[in-house]
Amino acid sequence: MLPENLTQALNNQFNNELQAAHAYKAMAAYFSERGYHGFANFFLVQSQEEHEHAMKFYDFLVTMSEKPEMHALNEPKNTFVSAMEVMESALGQERNVTKRIYELVSLADETHEHATLSFLDWFIEEQMEEEKTFRDIIARLKGITEGGEYFLKMDDEFATRKLD
């Protein structure tokens, strides 16, 4: 069994990952509404990834003889004015997840919970990759027009994205 405060924090992150999946579906809807199905696909795959991350927390809690607890999801932001705003929101969301993972690492370290530290190593690497992905997309979007030729090329590129 884990310390109670660590179990609670892990459950909170389980639910944060589900919330992130929910938010990414709302971001996909922005692009679907505009006919940019490649960008929509990118965010639907991103949502699936976040759900998988949530299930890693679920499985870890079960493995550690703890009960995963479902919390209510909040309504995500549903209104965006541009693709850039969507991407910046996604980057902000990933930075928030990174912060929460670091807080979990600190708590696991304080409580000398080595199994949790080992479990969280994967998430540290994953968050570095997630933030880089959105920083790179934002860099590519700067200076181009939404709906322009290069934007449509990106849309085609994102249409091929699949869950790994």
Known binding residues for Fe cation: 17, 50, 53, 94, 127
**Measured CA distances, 142 to 56, 130, 138, 150, 161 (Å):** 35, 19, 6, 11, 22
Say if residues 36 and 155 touch (Cβ distance below 8 Å): yes
- Write the DSSP string, 84-123: HHHHHHHHHHHHHHHHHHHHHHHHHHHTT-HHHHHHHHHH
Say if residues 44 and 160 touch (Cβ distance below 8 Å): no
**Annotation: binding site:** 17, 50, 53, 94, 127
Joined together, the tokens standing for residue 1 give 């069994």
